[in-house]
Amino acid sequence: EIVLTQSPATLSLSPGERATLSCGASQSVSSSYLAWYQQKPGLAPRLLIYDASSRATGIPDRFSGSGSGTDFTLTISRLEPEDFAVYYCQQSWTFGQGTKVEIK
Amino acid sequence: EVQLVESGGGLVQPGGSLRLSCAASGFTVSSNYMSWVRQAPGKGLEWVSVIYSGGSTYYADSVKGRFTISRDNSKNTLYLQMNSLRAEDTAVYYCASLTVTTTSNWFDPWGQGTLVTVSS
C-alpha cells in the first residue's frame, strides 16, 4: 500500500508570498501519478492538479505542480487571500494527510 | 453543468444501517467510474469505495463486508449502503467521479458531502 507524506504540516505565509508544498510517496507507481486538491472549511475538496503537473479546468496559473517518481511539489507563486486552505495530494486510492496554508 | 448532490446522512446508533445517495446531473453515472470518499471530523480524506462503469466494485479494507456501493441507472444515482456502523465511521461522505488513465487517476467533480454520525 502506498503511503503519501506531506510536508510541512502547516505553512504560515503572507499574501503575495510563494508557497511550496511537498508530497512524498513510499513507492513509485508511475512518473506522473499524482493529483492535488484544495479544501476550504466546510466545503468539498477541489481538484487543482492532475498528472502531477496539469492544471484542472478553471485553476489559475499561479498554481503549478511538478515532480515525478516519489517526490512531488505544489507551488503557489503568489498567495492570494482565497488560497489559504488545506491542500491534499493523492495517488491511486491514497491521500496525504494534508498541508494547511495559513495566514502569517 | 455537472453536479453531484449527496443525501441520506444523519445520526445512527452503533450497529445500525444507513443508505447514502448521490444524484447526478449534467453527467451519466453509469458511464463513469464513481467513488465515495470520507472525512472524519478534523481529519484527512479517506477513499471508501468505487464502482466502475462496467459494474466492478472495490472497497477499502476498513469497510469491506459492511458497505455496498451500487447505482440506479434509471435515476442516475449512486448509493452507499452502510451496515454494522461503528463510531469510527463518523465522517462527511463525499461522492466523486473518478477519472482513470493508463498512468494516473483523480477525483473530480465532488459533491458537497453528507454527514454521518454514529453514536448512541
Which pLDDT score, from 0 to 100, does residue B77 have?
98
Contacts of A96 in chain B (CB under 8 A): 44
Q: Among B102, B106, B107, B114, pick the best mutation site for testing chain A contact (most A Cβ within 10 A).
A: B106
Higher pLDDT, B34 or A27: B34
pLDDT of residue A1: 86
| Interface test mutation site (partner B, options A48, A50, A87, max chain B beta carbons within 10 A) | A50
Mark the ranges of chain B whose per-residue pLDDT is less than 70. none
* Contact by Cβ (8 Å): B50, B67: no
> Which residues of chain A from 42 to 71 reach within 8 Å of chain B, CB to CB?
43-47, 50-52, 56
* pLDDT at residue B46 in the model: 98
**The pLDDT of residue A32:** 80
Q: Do B104 and A51 touch (CB under 8 A)?
A: yes
What value does the mean pLDDT of chain A take?
Answer: 95
* Candidate from A88, A92, A97 with C-beta closest to B105: A92
Q: What is the pLDDT of residue B103?
A: 84
Inter-chain CB proximity A33 and B111 less than 8 Å:
no
pLDDT tens digits for A8-22?
A: 999 999 999 999 999
Q: Is the pLDDT of residue A30 over 80?
A: no
CA distance B16 to A54: 43
pLDDT of residue A42: 96
Asked if B94's CB is within 8 angstroms of A44's CB, the reply is yes
pLDDT value for A3: 95
Is pLDDT above 80 for A31? no
- The grid cell for B64 is 469491506
User: Residue B117, exposed/middle/buried by CB under 10 A (0-12, 13-18, 19+)?
Assistant: middle
**Tell me, what's the pLDDT at A54?**
96
Report pLDDT digits (tens) over A58-91: 999 999 999 998 999 999 999 999 999 999 999 9
